Amino acid sequence: MILLNTIIAPIALIMRRFGLLTEDLDYHLVRASMVIMFFLFGYQKWWPYEAERLVPYISNGPLIWWLYPVFGHQGASYFLGISEWTFGALLFAGFWEKRLGILGALGSTGTFIATVTIIPFMPNGWDPAAGFPAMSGDVPFLLKDLILLAVSFYLLRQDVVRVARNARVVSNSRLGRLVHSGQE
């Protein structure tokens, strides 16, 4: 135990000096990471190579299969790109306005629910020799979306809590002003 404390104490001190233990740093880093990811993933959707790369995902997605009949191949890719840029922009705005962050996090959560549900339906998703859970094909790429779904839910929860907390503070301050002014 003493050895562990001897190792951890200097690390914690360094982290504190560099501001890495400041309140909400993790929350802001997660938000910034999602904004960057949505910007870059959305940008890819504007190019034909990405529209073709999406075919096995959209074709086997139980929640997104309808994109091809409605928009066609490139149109579906454009739709996803616009959606990703929209959710990224809302998450970015969430740095200042948590209600917009909630909308971005809801969109992000929906995005990753849609992609995670593709996993069981992806053809050749499990290695034929080893079987489940040995992944193959496109399933390993989709598995990262489980983490992104958790991150999206984390941001959603954090923003809802912050909006609710702010609403209580505003409500309590209004009530306090009414009580002190005699207008109960």
- pLDDT given for residue 62 in this prediction: 96
Q: Which of 113, 114, 93 is nearest to 103 (CA)?
A: 93
Question: In this structure, what are the phi and psi dihedrals at residue 75, rounded to the nearest 5 degrees?
Answer: -60, -40
Q: Which residues contact 138 (CB under 8 A, 6 or more apart)?
A: 56, 57, 122, 125
Q: Is the pLDDT of residue 81 over 90?
A: yes
Q: Which of 110, 94, 50, 100 is nearest to 74 (CA)?
A: 50
For 36-45, what is each residue's pLDDT tens digit?
999 999 999 9
- Whole-prediction pTM value? 0.80
- pLDDT given for residue 15 in this prediction: 67
Q: What six digits make up the tokens of 134?
A: 């040995």
